[in-house]
Structures are given as C-alpha cells and as structure tokens.
Amino acid sequence: MSLLPLLHLAVALDGAGWHPAAWREPDATPDRLFTPAYWVDLARQAERGLLDFITIEDGLDVQSDSRLGPDERTDRVRGRLDAVLIAARVAPVTRHIGLVPTAITTHTEPFHLSKAIATLDYVSGGRAGVRVQVAARADTAAHFGRREIPRLTVEQLAEPDGRRLLAEHFDEAADYVEVLRRLWDSWEDDAEIRDVATGRFIDRDKLHYIDFEGRWFAVKGPSITPRPPQGQPPVAALGHAAVPYRLIARSADVGFVTPRDRSHAVEIVAEVSGELAKAGRAGVHLFGDVVVFLDDSAAVARARRERLDELAGAAYASDAHIFAGTPAELADLLLDWREAGLSGFRLRPGVLPRDLAQVIGGLVPELQRRGAFRAGYPDDGWPATLRGLLGRPRPANRYRRDVA
C-alpha cells in the first residue's frame, strides 16, 4: 500500500486520438467526430474511471503536421468543434468529472472567455476549468487581421528575436489569466440579493470594476456573469521549456509537462519549483503528459502502434513520452515518475475510444489495487467540484472589503 498521496489522473481528448492514423483503426468512428454523442460517450467513459478531469483540444487554425504553418495532407483528421461548447454539451450529462476545454489567448478576448468559463462552471455545478494556449503562427493571425505575426522558421525561433517573440506571447497569456481571475472576482458571492419585496436583485456595491491596464489589455469590468460556483475555476497550461514554465508558475493551478524519463521529470519539477519561488506561489499541480497505446499484451500494443505508423507513412513523434505496453506496465512507469515530484498524469490516448477503454478498464483498476488511485468520487457537495478533486479550497474574493 502506497503512503504517498493518491495520484491525480486526466485524459486529453483530441479527435480520433493522438496518432494521426487513429481514425483509420477498425474500431474508430470517424463519422461521429462532429456529433455531440461522440464527446458525451468519451466523457462518460472517463467519468466511469473516476478521473479528475478531461481536457479538450482546440485551435484557431486547421490542424497540420507542421508547427509553423498549414499542410496539404488529406489523410489526416482535419477540422474540430469548439472545445468550450463541447464541454457545455457534456456538462449536463456528467456529474463528477472536471471539464477543461482549451482556449487560445493570442487572438481572443479575456472578457468573452471569462463569462464562457463562468457559465460552464454554473452548467456543470462547479466542474469547469480552462487550459490556456498561445498561437504564434502567422497564418493564424491572418484569420483575424488585428495583428501581424512574422513567419518564422524553426531556426529563427531559436534566435534572440524569435525567443523574444515567444516570451511576449506567454507574457500576454499571463496578463490574460490575470484578467480572467479578476473578472471572476468582480462579483462578490452575495452580490445577488433577489429580494422581491424590496425590488432589489443585486447589491451594486458588491460589483467591482477591475480596472486592469496592461500592455495587451485594458479591461474595466465588472463581468456580466456572477462569480462562478468554484470562485476561481482552475487554470491549466502546457509547458516544455523555461518560458512556458514561467507561465505555469505565475498563472496556473495545473501545469502539464512532458518528461522523457524519471530523471528528466526531476529536472522539470526542480525548474518549475524555482519559478514558483520567484513568483511567490505554491501548490501548483504538475501533471506529466504521456501518449498511450495499451493492450493486454505489450507485443500487441507495440504492433498496433507500428501498424498505425505504417498507415501514416512515418513513425509517430510527439512532444510527450510515447508508451506502448500493458496497463500494468504503464502503472509501473507512472508510479516511478511520481517519485520525481509529479502529482498526476494527463494521458493522451493514441486511439479513441480503444486506448481510453484500456485506461479505464485496465490502468485504473491496477492503480487501485496498488492503493494509488481513488476508489470512488467524494460525496456530493464542495469536494465534488474540480477544485475539490484537486484538493484546493474555494478561494476568498479579492474585492471583498473584509479581505483586502
């Protein structure tokens, strides 16, 4: 029986799965990708596995095999539904699992996203979060016509001007999150009086201007949506290097990182911990991202990945570690990496729904047998919120006069 805290587990949902040929698997359902039922089924399956949350991928450009621009491939899944709207559709038919859609900070307005995520928190009964992501491609900027982003090569991104541009995008994202948080607090919890006898619905003194002034945003507030049930829905971000690690440390409640092995995980945890100390923050969860191909036999799992690579025309590569094996072998890896200081893992199923079913039916019971994962969701009430699942209390409102 493990004496360490229970693992946190999440799954990252993207199209037919993270392998580019996933949609061509015999048990894949590419004809359902743009239907509500597809996403509802995946979310319910994840909830049956008692997972903390699901994340839903999104973007502002058509998917591409290139990080730097569009491609002309026709043998890949292309097109996606809006992640926030998917989460809103899933929320009423789930009860416990957290819902964390991806939102792009570079070309959207924090005022709009603040009310969208607050609304999702109401619809889900306190299970909303958001994963913030930057979009630094020139072709993406052309969709909006409000700013110009230079078209850079991989080599140019490594040069001083390229690094400065990327750092600015992440600094903008940090300001974006700060605006989100202030807007969520711009209504005090008891601002709504709803007194029919006196005719007063709100106490206007408990709605606050946030008066945010920064390089990228000038937002007066208050929000048009009352404070979310969680007070502050959890914010997540993905990081691979120093600049996004600073965003995690400054702004996030959950950071997704991509260690290659246990020793690399130790290095990442130490680096993020250093950034947290500089930011004067603590208590950020770090989840290791792992792409998974799971079967009852490790040889079958590896053969399936190889067959998918052949269909795709190239060996699959990822920013995250790629694991092909049995659920028990994956449990060994996760528990080993946990010793590096990771509090959880976000698993990216190589093929949906097959690898998600293996996570739920194979990995979760294996971790439960080892005393490393919960046997059930907490009772209804505060602990059933996403913040509760993550062990985080509901924060006080920064604008309350007795809190300042």
Tell me the pLDDT tens digit for each residue of 257-293.
Answer: 999 999 999 999 999 999 999 999 998 999 999 999 9
pLDDT at position 234 over 50: yes
DSSP reduced 3-state for 179? helix
If pLDDT is split at 50, 70 and 90, which confidence band does 14 have? very high
Asked which of 184-188, 216-220, 374-378, 398-402 is least confident by mean pLDDT, the reply is 398-402
Mean pLDDT, the chain, rounded, equals: 94
Residue 382 confidence (pLDDT):
46
pLDDT at position 381 over 80: no
End-to-end CA distance of the chain: 44
Residue 351 confidence (pLDDT):
98
Report the share of the chain in percent with pLDDT over 90: 84
What mean pLDDT do residues 166-192 have?
A: 96
Tell me the pLDDT tens digit for each residue of 359-379.
Answer: 999 999 999 999 999 999 987
pLDDT at position 238 over 90: yes
Residue 380 confidence (pLDDT):
55
- Which residue carries 């490790």 as its tokens? 298
The structural domains of the chain, ordered by start, are 8-252+280-288+348-366+382-389 (3.20.20.30)
Within 8 A by CB and 6+ apart from 396, the residues are: 231, 403
DSSP reduced 3-state for 175? helix
Residue 91 confidence (pLDDT):
98
Helices in 126-261 by DSSP H: which ranges? 138-141, 154-157, 160-184, 242-251
Q: How far is CA 106 from the centre of its chain?
A: 16
Residue 5 confidence (pLDDT):
87
If pLDDT is split at 50, 70 and 90, which confidence band does 404 have? very low
pLDDT at position 64 over 80: yes
Q: How far is CA 287 from the centre of its chain?
A: 10
What mean pLDDT do residues 92-104 have?
A: 97
